[in-house]
A and B are shown apart, each in its own frame.
Chain A
């Protein structure tokens, strides 16, 4: 006797493209992005919402994609680091450019999550000073401890 795994249909707009998939309801949004759509920019660090490396934008707002199931987001818009600059062959997004210019990473594993969080932070208007940037980036850990340059890069992207 075989048991048919449960699968639910969900439609997501991923980096501007409408995509329809059938997934087991246990699949997190993070796993759907990585395994169903091949978008490996969002990283699976802790998988418990504690490190921020899976950060993506959901309807324009930053979330930890590991702590939510894909089936819960039918009809919604997801932006990953791959969708940030628009044309993959074109210019980097200004926050990506700032991270490169200010050497805001070492190993790079946390970087897509850091950049997505920073893009949201700038949109929210939380780059007033370095302390504010640090507080509003507190959901993103960097085990290489590139924090000083991350703050500098975000401040530069904010025009300071």
Chain B
């Protein structure tokens, strides 16, 4: 591992003042320490933001405000999350292991890098890690790679479960930095790879996620997260979906369908939402939504199964959500 100097500022302004050009922020470290060991990340300076006042969870009735340093385990266990935002609690508990969730933070989760094996191996070409070096996944082992939002330069999936749920909930990311504070809707925060796969979010160097705001709505209260993996637990998604439905008088009034594990960013399936709105909830409508969710999919040699997986995961999640609703009477 490349040597680095370590600093732990106690207020945000000091954090970005100390973040030189060859420096990185660290919070939980579950992703960055791993990447430093792999030789993918090699900052000369680490600025530990663990001492900044960015913790805490608060609710003012219609918005949940979560500090960037809140641990995934604490967020999942918060009563407002477990009672009013089921998709968020389920996505958090479907991610990683209890040990990792005790270290991992909200802000770090949104900044985590892909699990693409070529990205994680500095001996291989990768446009995301080393721009213009090529993409070894295009003709290589891409069984786990994305079918949506890909480009000729990068097909790596975004690995987060949490971000998929936050997108379904219409969350906003609070950011601060040398240029002043700003708030960004999470659907604009993660960038598709296009010609610049090395650029994954809108954060400028020195900027810091300070928190996330989640609107508390009726839609968010009727939500569900389904994740399909290669083993029963502690694995990244082959395909996952966050669904939220507003059903009144036998008709879907509003819907959110967001995919994970199959796209280069957390992926809002707008066509699937359109297919549902105005229809009576049921097997036929859910199958149509599953089909619509695959719109724009571009499978490669070995990841075509993900297209079928999208259809079935969307339909099953919607069935589970409405069945649970029915059981509640």
Is A138 touching B102 in the complex (CB atoms < 8 A)? no
For the complex, is B215 an interface residue (Cβ under 8 Å from A)? no
Give the residue name and chain of the A residue nearest to B46 (CB). Answer: A25
Chain B proximity mask over A115-156: 1 for CB below 8 Å, otherwise 0: 001001100100000000011101110000000000000000
Q: How far is A61 from B50 in the complex, measured between Cα atoms in Å?
A: 17
Candidates A6, A48, A117, A134; contact of B98 at CB < 8 Å:
A117
Known: A25-B6, A138-B233. A69 touches B29 (CB 8 A): yes
Residue of A49, A58, A64 with highest tally of chain B CB at under 10 A = A49
Candidates A8, A28, A140; contact of B33 at CB < 8 Å:
A28
For the complex, is B323 an interface residue (Cβ under 8 Å from A)? no
B73: A residues at CB distance < 8 A: 61
Is A25 touching B34 in the complex (CB atoms < 8 A)? no
For the complex, is B133 an interface residue (Cβ under 8 Å from A)? no
Q: Number of contact residues on B: which range applies? A: 20 to 34
For the complex, is A52 an interface residue (Cβ under 8 Å from B)? yes
For the complex, is B1 an interface residue (Cβ under 8 Å from A)? yes
Within the complex, what minimum Cβ distance (angstroms) separates B29 from chain A?
A: 5
For the complex, is B5 an interface residue (Cβ under 8 Å from A)? yes
Is B4 touching A26 in the complex (CB atoms < 8 A)? yes
B4: A residues at CB distance < 8 A: 6, 25-26
For the complex, is B26 an interface residue (Cβ under 8 Å from A)? yes
Residue of A48, A72, A121, A140 with highest tally of chain B CB at under 10 A = A72
Within the complex, what minimum Cβ distance (angstroms) separates A13 from chain B?
A: 17
A140: B residues at CB distance < 8 A: 97
Residue of A26, A48, A120, A140 with highest tally of chain B CB at under 10 A = A26
Q: How far is A135 from B101 in the complex, measured between Cα atoms in Å?
A: 13
Q: Number of contact residues on A: which range applies? A: 20 to 34
For the complex, is A47 an interface residue (Cβ under 8 Å from B)? yes
For the complex, is B30 an interface residue (Cβ under 8 Å from A)? yes
A66: B residues at CB distance < 8 A: 33
Chain B proximity mask over A25-40: 1 for CB below 8 Å, otherwise 0: 1101000000000000
Is A47 touching B102 in the complex (CB atoms < 8 A)? no
Chain A proximity mask over B37-62: 1 for CB below 8 Å, otherwise 0: 10000000010101000000000000
A61: B residues at CB distance < 8 A: 73, 102
Is B5 touching A25 in the complex (CB atoms < 8 A)? yes
Q: How far is A140 from B100 in the complex, measured between Cα atoms in Å?
A: 11
Within the complex, what minimum Cβ distance (angstroms) separates A54 from chain B?
A: 9
For the complex, is B99 an interface residue (Cβ under 8 Å from A)? yes
Is A67 touching B103 in the complex (CB atoms < 8 A)? yes
| Those of A67-94 within 8 Å (CB) of chain B | 67-69, 71-72
Candidates A26, A117, A120, A134; contact of B3 at CB < 8 Å:
A26
For the complex, is B305 an interface residue (Cβ under 8 Å from A)? no
B100: A residues at CB distance < 8 A: 49, 63-64, 67, 139
Q: How far is A15 from B275 in the complex, measured between Cα atoms in Å?
A: 58
A63: B residues at CB distance < 8 A: 99-100, 102-103
Is B29 touching A72 in the complex (CB atoms < 8 A)? yes
Is A72 touching B99 in the complex (CB atoms < 8 A)? no
B30: A residues at CB distance < 8 A: 49, 64, 67-68
Is B34 touching A72 in the complex (CB atoms < 8 A)? no
Is B98 touching A72 in the complex (CB atoms < 8 A)? no
Give the residue name and chain of the B residue nearest to A113 (CB). Answer: B99
Is A68 touching B103 in the complex (CB atoms < 8 A)? yes
Counting from the closest, the 8 A-B pairs by CB-CB distance are A139-B97, A138-B233, A25-B6, A138-B234, A64-B99, A139-B99, A61-B102, A67-B33
- 13 pairs of residues in contact across A and B, judged by CB atoms under 8 Å: A8-B6, A55-B99, A61-B73, A62-B98, A64-B103, A67-B29, A68-B103, A69-B6, A69-B46, A121-B98, A138-B97, A138-B98, A139-B96
